[in-house]
């Protein structure tokens, strides 16, 4: 025993001496440190992968075997913890798991498989290995650091305010909620706000059964805030959202606690008003409508035995819980050659120049995602004999890749995408296009595949003069004229039955889907529109009835619909090509409308109590009064956002001063850099709304000016025009004004690049949505690969037998060559 003890002592001394040079680089994770022990920063390797995962003991980033050497060479960090999980058949005695809170694929952790975890320290460059745990032989600091890493929470479980899986707490009112015995019974359908007749974003107050609309959102959706007004009048604290009430989901909000909450007794509280969740789910699904059972089956092709496909380009994406909107968009984008070349084609270059923390670099994570989908490394057919039987029994589930790191990055700071709720795939598409635009410096811009020009033609009906303007866009939204439906009589009969069911508080009839010809949608898109209150620069007054007309010069586009539209495989949009000013047409003068104050010159109405509430926080009173005024008396929260956005301005604390009347003058475009500062200046309340959403003031002013102060269009403009582009354009304009010292301006080189070509397109992908609201339900995509349609349904990738092209939500077409 003495001999053995002496040997152990010498080994401990040897390990201690071995680690001495590296001790300054070994850290113990502190509060706020993220420990990435389930996913490589450059690949989708994990402890379950063949080579395991190496966790840097200084930065706590994880690296697969193929990428750990790169981090060692770049940082000189030598000590890593190597984690390896070995799946195996279930044994009678379950083995202890070393990797506490390790979020991995759980396919082997069911009834038939158990796992054995292995951890060891590895010292580079010699790959010297020290098995763990090794308490007796390692220095105390190293032991503490190793235990802290093994016990650390997942990098994605930090309870930060903007965490996308923030834990919702049980409401303090849940168990003591008093419900009124007022005889209110909520019908299974036909809900509408008791105060404004709205039929969407409805909330049921759990105290008295009042059904009222939610708050208004910046995109124009939402409601009129009657649910909140009801709380202010009654102090009844809890409400549940009716639109997406299911067995699995109950969105409960506490007005008193001002946050989403849990109610363990939600079933009992709903039953008090006659609501049984099971029939509610059966009848209403997500938006007060009976789910089309056939729609779920048709879109997912669930009634057929589909053949699974594996290999490059056939990798599934694991659903993180309501993340299918993200997965479908990324599957389609990385089926496009421009995105493949920009990120996967430049993979090594992007990786070599990545920052020290690759998890925060957009280009790195895009390249990682593209390689994960296209390499085939994470889409291999089952090879083990014990899994073949599972495949035959249709029990084998391919893992796919998990986009936790990617989602955390692209959703950081975004109020919608950072949540763990379902989101609109179209909105995420535009969000990602914006991120690509901001981060493509030094790379080929793959957005060029989507970018096209929209030509807008405005004609004054009194003078017949016209104005042509152009704007960049990335998707084309087609209207669906219900009056053009081929089954119009059937729809009229259904509407009558539905209204009758609502009046009698009965379940609605089986929904009838409108079948609208695609040609009717295209025709409706190109119809002229009346523009109310149009200011004619020729008359220098409002014109009686001008028209607005769109014509397109487009590249690759998306279409949005929630109807049955027989989308063609091939499109010819040549007739929509923009033509510009035609012979015989006269242009409207390039003047901007005057700024006119209302005749009522009384002092503006300001909620002084709200202003005082903000002033108590330490802000100047005059600044608070301006904030309340410019945000339309919409409350302290909105005004607070205005204050944060404007507090660096020199006149921040000065009293409110309203603009005076100004005569019409030349527009900014015609007058160059010498334009009057107030010329076409957007309303401050519009600027405040956009800046409160996080956009810089300068950029919001440009957006509003470019869209005639239309909030909705300005928001789209911001997403399609990066600040860098605008700076380049302004620099180019300024240089062109200094003709004596500069070369002629090449606006095409500095502005967005547009690929022109033939007007014929072929359908190559479409995203389908299941459910009545794009903010809930499920997304599936179909992509045409090698001449065959393939269905991507989360982690499952199969050959499609009957692609439901008429039930899509977003359609992707690619231009055909002239040959």
Residues labelled catalytic: 324, 778
- Length of the chain measured in residues: 819
Distance CA(261)–CA(52), nearest Å, equals 39
DSSP-derived 3-state class of residue 293 = helix
Sole residue written with tokens 């507090």? 647
Could you tell me which of 539, 705, 678, 703 has the C-alpha nearest to residue 597?
678
DSSP-derived 3-state class of residue 80 = strand
- The answer to the question of whether 460 is labelled as a binding residue is no
Distance CA(152)–CA(764), nearest Å, equals 44
Give the helix/strand (H/E) hosting 592. Answer: strand 591-592
Distance CA(371)–CA(339), nearest Å, equals 11
Give the helix/strand (H/E) hosting 282. Answer: helix 277-284
The tokens for 631 are 């945000």
Distance CA(688)–CA(493), nearest Å, equals 47
DSSP-derived 3-state class of residue 555 = coil
Could you tell me which of 579, 519, 574, 523 has the C-alpha nearest to residue 759?
574
What SS3 string covers 351-385?
HHCCCCCHHHCHHHHHHHHHHHHHCCCCCCCCCCH
DSSP-derived 3-state class of residue 793 = strand
With beta carbons less than 8 A apart as the criterion, state whether 80 and 56 touch. Answer: yes
- The answer to the question of whether 681 is labelled as a binding residue is no
β 466-473/515-516 pair status: unpaired
CB atoms within 10 A of CB 653: 14
- The answer to the question of whether 196 is labelled as a binding residue is yes
Distance CA(267)–CA(262), nearest Å, equals 12
With beta carbons less than 8 A apart as the criterion, state whether 411 and 329 touch. Answer: no
- Residue 301: C-alpha distances to residues 41, 390, 781, 798, 804 (Å): 35, 21, 11, 10, 8
The tokens for 435 are 């991120």
Distance CA(407)–CA(327), nearest Å, equals 10
Distance CA(184)–CA(13), nearest Å, equals 77
Distance CA(655)–CA(617), nearest Å, equals 18
Category of 197 on φ-ψ map: left (φ > 0), alpha (ψ -120 to 50) or beta: left
DSSP codes joined into one string, 190-221: ----TTT---SSEEEETTT--EEE--B-TTS-
- Residues in contact with 204: Cβ distance below 8 Å, sequence separation at least 6, in sequence order: 186, 210, 211, 239, 240, 241, 242, 270, 273, 275
Distance CA(735)–CA(673), nearest Å, equals 11
Q: Maximum Cα–Cα distance for the chain, whole Å? A: 108
Could you tell me which of 706, 669, 699 has the C-alpha nearest to residue 454?
706
Sole residue written with tokens 């910046």? 218
- Phi, psi values for residue 652, rounded to 5°: -55, -45
- Phi, psi values for residue 810, rounded to 5°: -130, 130
* Spacing of C-alpha 256 from chain mean position: 29
Question: DSSP assignment, residue 342?
Answer: I
Sole residue written with tokens 């919001």? 700
The tokens for 152 are 């650390």
DSSP-derived 3-state class of residue 719 = helix
First-to-last C-alpha distance (Å) of the chain: 86
Residue 601, classified by CB atoms within 10 Å of its CB into exposed (0-12), middle (13-18) or buried (19+), is exposed
- The answer to the question of whether 213 is labelled as a binding residue is yes
- Which residues define the annotated binding site for Zn(2+)? 193, 196, 213, 226
Q: Which residues are annotated as a binding site?
A: 193, 196, 213, 226
């Amino acid at each position: 025993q003495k001999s053995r003890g002496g040997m152990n002592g010498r080994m401990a001394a040897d390990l201690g001496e071995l680690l001495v040079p590296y001790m300054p680089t070994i850290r113990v994770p502190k509060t706020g440190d993220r420990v990435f022990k389930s996913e490589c920063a450059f690949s989708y390797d994990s402890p379950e992968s063949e080579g395991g995962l190496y966790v840097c003991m200084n930065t706590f980033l994880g690296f697969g075997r193929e990428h750990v050497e790169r981090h060692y060479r770049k940082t000189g960090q030598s000590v890593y913890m190597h984690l390896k999980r070995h799946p195996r058949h279930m044994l009678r005695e379950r083995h202890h798991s070393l990797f506490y809170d390790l979020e991995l694929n759980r396919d082997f952790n069911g009834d038939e498989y158990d796992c054995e975890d292995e951890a060891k320290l590895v010292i580079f460059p010699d790959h010297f290995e020290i098995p763990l745990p090794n308490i007796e032989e390692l220095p105390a600091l190293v032991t503490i650091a190793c235990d802290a890493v093994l016990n650390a929470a997942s990098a994605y479980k930090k309870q930060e305010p903007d965490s996308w899986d923030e834990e919702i707490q049980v409401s303090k009112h849940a168990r003591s909620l008093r419900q009124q015995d007022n005889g209110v019974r909520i019908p299974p359908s036909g809900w509408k706000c008791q105060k404004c007749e709205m039929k969407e974003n409805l909330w049921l107050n759990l105290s008295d059964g009042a059904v009222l609309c939610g708050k208004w959102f910046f995109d124009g959706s939402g409601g009129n805030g009657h649910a909140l007004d009801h709380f202010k009048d009654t102090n009844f604290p809890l409400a549940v959202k009716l639109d997406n009430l299911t067995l699995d989901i109950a969105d409960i909000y506490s007005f008193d606690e001002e946050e989403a909450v849990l109610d363990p007794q939600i079933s009992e509280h709903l039953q008090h008003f006659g609501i049984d969740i099971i029939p509610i789910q059966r009848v209403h699904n997500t938006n007060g409508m009976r789910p089309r059972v056939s729609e779920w089956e048709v879109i997912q092709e669930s009634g057929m035995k589909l053949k699974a496909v594996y290999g490059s380009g056939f990798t599934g994406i694991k659903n993180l819980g309501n993340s299918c909107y993200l997965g479908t968009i990324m599957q389609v984008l990385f089926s496009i050659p421009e995105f493949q070349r920009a990120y996967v084609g430049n993979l090594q270059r992007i990786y070599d120049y990545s920052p020290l923390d690759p998890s925060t670099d957009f280009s790195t994570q895009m390249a990682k995602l593209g390689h994960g989908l296209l390499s085939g490394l994470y889409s291999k057919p089952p090879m083990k004999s014990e899994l073949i039987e599972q495949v035959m029994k249709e029990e084998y589930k391919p893992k796919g890749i998990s986009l936790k790191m990617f989602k955390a990055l692209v959703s950081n700071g975004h109020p919608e995408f950072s949540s763990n709720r379902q989101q609109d795939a179209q909105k995420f598409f535009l969000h990602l296009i914006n991120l690509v635009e901001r981060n493509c410096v030094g790379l080929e811009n793959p957005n060029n595949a989507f970018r096209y020009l929209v030509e807008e033609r405005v004609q004054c009906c009194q003078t017949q003069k016209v104005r042509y303007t152009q704007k960049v866009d990335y998707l084309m939204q087609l209207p669906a004229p219900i009056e053009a439906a081929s089954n119009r009589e059937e729809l009229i009969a259904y509407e009558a039955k539905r209204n009758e069911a609502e009046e009698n508080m009965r379940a609605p009839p089986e929904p009838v889907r409108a079948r609208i010809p695609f040609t009717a949608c295209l025709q409706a898109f190109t119809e002229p529109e009346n523009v109310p209150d149009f200011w004619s620069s020729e008359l220098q007054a409002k014109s009686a009835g001008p028209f607005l007309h769109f014509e397109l010069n487009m590249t690759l586009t998306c279409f949005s619909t929630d109807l049955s539209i027989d989308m063609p495989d091939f499109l010819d949009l040549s007739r929509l090509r923009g033509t510009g000013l035609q012979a015989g047409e006269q242009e409207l003068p390039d003047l901007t409308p005057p700024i006119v104050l209302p005749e009522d010159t009384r002092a503006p109405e300001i909620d002084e109590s709200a202003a005082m509430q903000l002033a108590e926080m330490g802000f100047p009173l005059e600044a608070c009064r301006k904030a309340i005024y410019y945000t339309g008396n919409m409350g302290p929260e909105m005004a607070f956002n205005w204050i944060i956005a404007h507090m660096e301005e020199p006149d921040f604390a000065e009293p409110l001063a309203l603009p005076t009347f100004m005569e019409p003058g030349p527009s900014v475009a015609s007058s160059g850099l010498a334009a009057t500062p107030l010329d076409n200046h957007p309303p401050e309340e519009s600027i405040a709304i956009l800046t409160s959403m996080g956009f810089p003031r300068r950029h919001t002013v440009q957006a509003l000016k470019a869209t005639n102060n239309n909030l909705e269009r300005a928001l789209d403009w911001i997403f399609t025009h990066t600040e860098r582009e605008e700076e380049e354009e302004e620099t180019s304009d300024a240089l062109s004004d200094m003709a004596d010292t500069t070369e002629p301006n090449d606006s095409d080189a500095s502005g967005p690049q547009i690929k022109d070509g033939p007007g014929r397109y072929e359908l190559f992908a479409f995203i389908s949505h299941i459910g009545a609201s794009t903010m809930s339900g499920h997304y599936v995509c179909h992509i045409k690969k090698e001449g065959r349609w393939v269905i991507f349904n989360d982690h499952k990738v199969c050959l499609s037998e009957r692609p439901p092209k008429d039930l899509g939500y977003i359609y992707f077409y690619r231009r055909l060559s002239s040959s």
